[in-house]
Amino acid sequence: MKKLYSVLLLFTLLSSCGQNRDTDMKEFDENFSHTVYFWLKNPDSQEDRKAFETSLKKFLDHSAYAKTRFIGTPPRTSRDVVDGSFTYSLIATFESAEAQQNYQDEAPHKLFVKESEHLWNKVIVYDSQGIELEK
């Protein structure tokens, strides 16, 4: 019985780790993916990090176009193929390239850039359109 309890507890913990913390987040849209990497000027400054995170979260909470939203930081890894030089990453998905362009032009995005651009010294964007996969 103790082993069953341990397995159930482990399963509950693992499944809660994968749960979405944003209740409004929708399913990943395979049509268009927007991946952005940010290098902050002062990555060790907790004040800068808090300001950046607050502005980015506010922007995403008010975006009318981003379907899924992921904000991340580099993982601790020892694999040579992993680039952990960035400070933050953002992955957002869209129903189309046009929706992503609307996201670029919307007021919350422009406000985010205005509030936060002084915090970073480098930004790289990778946009991808999905290809149809055989089932």
Domain boundaries, the chain: 25-129
The mean of the pLDDT values for the chain is 82
Predicted TM-score of the model (pTM)? 0.76
CB–CB of 130/33 below 8 Å? yes
3-state secondary structure of 112: helix
- CATH class held by domain 25-129: alpha beta
pLDDT tens digits for 78-91? 788 888 999 999 99
Give me the phi and psi of 126, to 5 degrees please.
-125, 115
Instruction: List the strands of the sheet with 88-94, edge to edge.
Output: 68-72, 88-94, 32-40, 120-129
pLDDT tens digits for 12-61? 333 333 333 444 445 666 889 999 999 999 999 999 999 999 999 999 99
Predicted pLDDT of residue 48: 98
Predicted pLDDT of residue 14: 30
For residue 20, the one-letter residue type is N
